[in-house]
Structure 1
Amino acid sequence: RRQAAPRFVIRPQSTFAFEGQSAKFSCRVIAVAPATVSWYHNNAELRQSVKYMKRYLIDDYTFVINRVKLEDRGEYIIRAENHYGAREEPVFLNVQPVPTDVSIVKPDLGVQRKRQPLEIKNLWQEARDSAPCFTFLLRPRVIQVGSSVKLLCCLSGKPTPDVKWFKGSQELSKYEYAMTHSDGVVTMEITNCRVQDSGKYRCEAKNTLGSDETN
């Protein structure tokens, strides 16, 4: 029965967008019996609308959030379900305000013998160096034995912080767990969960300016 439940053969990935842009999540779901794929934010299902758009072609699903706002930032759950069971995949949408400090490039008004392409440099001002700061914290999860779980948090800091995961006081190996750190989103996945995987997990980030952690 469990084998007949939907499976994510291409998992959705966390993404980043500036205010006003569109954000897109894509996945592929296969199942023996037809599956219903829906998505949630803050425990509420997101219905088809001008802002939230869901498209699908056979087994491929695309979810689009149009004209994102800062309040759209956070964790989203994509859920695939049929009468044999259900599976969920969490993703994170990281929304940042559009930078306001823009370098104005003025063309040289002098006589030019040969036209040169206009070179644009430093269109956006680079972020200043800062200590690590978890802006979205880890949340408790309750998972069935045999299922997979992805722990997710959001991190800022420059230079890019070094990230480590711990269970209790024991550091976890990247060779035993799938760990990612991209666009400010940090994840760690435990596959085929066992009873002994229960416990308190901690994510620690450090750079030359400081450190932070979430558990």
Structure 2
Amino acid sequence: MSMTSTDSTTKPGDRIGVLVADDHVTVLEGLAAIIGRQADMTVVGQAADGREAVELWLARRPDVTMLDMRMPVLDGIGAVEEIRRHDGAARIIMLTTFDTDTDIANAIKAGAKGFLLKDAPREDLLAAIRSVHAGETSIAGALLTKLASGISSEALTGRELDVLALLAQGKSNREIGANLFISETTVKSHLRSIFTKLNVLSRTEAVTVANRRGLVHL
């Protein structure tokens, strides 16, 4: 496996050494360029997948690691968990194009100290690196509100999630019942419960909210 990195594994002065991992070359190179232009930062490695990121982390021991949540071979969550098995204090920021409650919660549960959307302003990106390097947690206020909203709502049961998944596929109550070997009356009961827990009034709204929260994937 080839690993792309900066020419030197040592950090000039007291710069923050940053490892960046993303499977999209343009995103990876863009992040590296932004970080590399900062007087107090230097890029110590670039990886194209989660496995490569873990190997580079072990070789370079960066101060801060930025991981794309969805990468081939090993995803961002898996990479965070592996890195933290080597160092529970590792400072990691998760990058994603998604902002579902589940994504945010999974990143935090895995041990990420920061959570950023890829389209976040450059200033937010750099501020997150500096904050996480300083031992702080960096999650945008809007994302925290979204997470709190998801956590505060009552969790769906396994059967309700099954019904919701079929609902997202456009199945009718009769089709959902046939797939799950339950009656239409039971399906309707589950739907009422789902609507209440998701605080929605229609099937379409339920699917939309569930998709936003990462409960279903369209």
Using the size of structure 2 for normalisation, the TM-score is 0.22
Larger strand fraction of residues: 1
Using the size of structure 1 for normalisation, the TM-score is 0.22
Higher relative contact order (CA 8 A, sep 6+): 1
